[in-house]
Chain A
Amino acid sequence: MSYMPTIHDEEWRYADFDALETVPEAQVTGWSEIAVAPGEVLARSFVLDGATPDVQRLRVTLGEGARAEIFAVNVASAYARLEIEVTLAPKAHFEFGGVLIGGGDVTREFVTRTLHAEPEATSNQTVRAVHWGTASGNYLGRIDVARHAQKTDAAQDFKGLLLEKGASANAKPELEIFADDVKCAHGATVGQLDEMARYYMASRGIAPDVAKHLLIRAFLADALAALEDEAEQERLFDHALAALEQAA
C-alpha cells in the first residue's frame, strides 16, 4: 500500500527530495490516526523546529458535530513537512492555522486535505509564510466535497511574505467539489513588506528592526487568531518570532 513519494506526486511537488531520502520510510508514508467522537474537540498544536529533515502526518476523523482545532508553527532549520488529513461528519468543523517562517536554504511546508464527506460541515485554513535567504514556504491545501455534502462551508487563505529576493512561497489550493449547494472561498497572495508602513513607523521614531518585527507579527496574527487559548497562542508566536531574530 505505502510507497515513497516522487516528484510526480502532486502533493509532493515542492518537497525537498534530497532531504526526504534521510527520513525513515515509515515516517514518510505512515500516519498517526485519531478519531474524534461526536461533539468532542481535538485541540492540537505543533512546533516543527528540528535541525534534521522531518515529516509528520496526522489523519483525523471527526464525528458528527466534532471539532479539530489544529495550529502549527514550522520554524525548522531543515526540510520539515506537516500533513493533516481530516474527514468531516455532518456539522463537524476543522480549523487549521499555520505559520511557516525562516531563512537558510530550507523548504518548510504544510499540506492539508479536507474531506467534506457529509452535509453541513465547515472548515477553515489560514496559513502565513515568511521567508528570507533562499528558503521556500509551501502550502498545499486540498478540499474535497462529496456529492451529497450539501451546505458545506469551506474557506482557505494563504499569504506569503518574502523578505529577500532569493526566498519563495508556493500555494497550491486544490478544490474538488461535487455538491452544488456549497460555499468555498480561497485566496492566495505573495508580497513584500510594505515599505511605506516601515517608513511611517520610522518617522515616528521606531527603529527599523522593531518596525519589521511589529509588521511581521501583525502579518502572522491571522494564522493564530482562532486559537482561543491565549497562553498557547503566545507560545506559538514566541516560536515564530524567535526565528525572526536570525533574519538579515
Chain B
Amino acid sequence: MLKIENLHAEIGGKEILKGLSLELGAGEVHAIMGPNGAGKSTLSYVLGGRPGYEVTAGSVTFKGEDLLAMDPHERAAAGFFLGFQYPVEIPGVSNVQFLREALNSQRRERGEQPLTGGEFLKLAKEKAALLKLDMEMLKRPVNVGFSGGEKKRNEMVQMGILDPMLAVLDETDSGLDIDALKVVGEGINAIMRKPEKAVLLITHYQRLLDYVKPDHVHILAAGRIVKSGGPELALQLEEEGYDEVMAA
C-alpha cells in the first residue's frame, strides 16, 4: 500500500527527516510514536504534499504510484487522507459546502459521478452520527469556533465521508476526553479497519491503541525510525519512556 524508502526532507533548508523507511501493507494498522520534535508531523505533511516541505532524497510509493509526484489534491483523489494535528479553520465556508466540494472533486478526478445534494447530505448525516458530532455543526464554517475535541471528531467525519484507502492520522487522539477517545477509536475502526485499507496512527499515548489495535509499532526519533516491533512496544514505551526503550 505505502512504501517509504530512505526519505530525506527539509523545511526552510533544515533537514528534519533523515533517511526514514517504512512499509505498510493493505489491512494493516501501524502506529508511530516518538518524542516531541522527532519529525512525526513533518512526515505526515511530506506525505500530504504540504508546500514548503521539500523532499531531498528517497521515494514514496502509494499503491505502486509515485506519491511525491502528485499534487496534494491528486493524492486525496488517489485515496490518501491526512488527519491534521491542528485542523484548519476556514471562516465563511461551511463544512457541508467544503466536504461536498471535496468529495465531488475527488469523484470527478477519478471519473466517477458527483453526488447530488440529497445524496451527499444523507452520507454526511450518517458519518456525523457515527462520530457523534451534531449535524448542526456541519452547517457552520469549517472548524470555526469548534473545541479541540470537536475539531478532531470533525476530521474523522471528513475521513468517513471521503472514504480513503490510506489514512495518516497525526495525533488525532490529543485534545480528546475519555468518552470522545472511545468514539473516535471506534470511528476509525468502522471506517478504516478493512482488508483493502491501511492506517498510520501518529500518537504519543497508548490509550488510542487500546481501541485501534496496531499490527506494528515504530519509534521515530531525530527523523528516523529507530525501532520497530509489535503492539507490546507501545506498552513498553508507556511504562519505561522513550530514553530507556531506545537505549535498549
Contact = CB atoms under 8 A, between A and B. Distances in A.
Interface of A: 194-197, 199-208, 210, 214-215, 217-219, 221-222
Given A197-B88, A200-B88, A221-B92, A214 B101 contact: yes
A196 B51 CA distance: 9
A218 B102 CA distance: 16
Interface of B: 48-51, 71-73, 75-77, 82, 84, 87-93, 97-99, 101-103, 105-106, 109, 141-142, 158, 162
Nearest to B110: A205
A187 to B, nearest CB: 15
A222 B175 CA distance: 32
A214 B93 contact: yes
6 closest A-B pairs by CB? A218-B92, A205-B76, A204-B102, A202-B72, A200-B88, A205-B106
Contacts of A202: 49, 71-73, 76
A10 to B, nearest CB: 33
A203 B93 contact: no
Contacts of A217: 92
A205 B49 CA distance: 12
A113 to B, nearest CB: 29
Contact of B73 (A206, A214, A219, A221): A206
Contacts of A199: 50-51, 72, 88
Nearest to B83: A203
Nearest to A222: B92
A210 B93 CA distance: 13
Contact of A205 (B90, B102, B142): B102
Given A210-B105, A215-B93, A218-B93, A205 B88 contact: no
B16 to A, nearest CB: 17
A218 B95 CA distance: 13
A204 B109 CA distance: 12
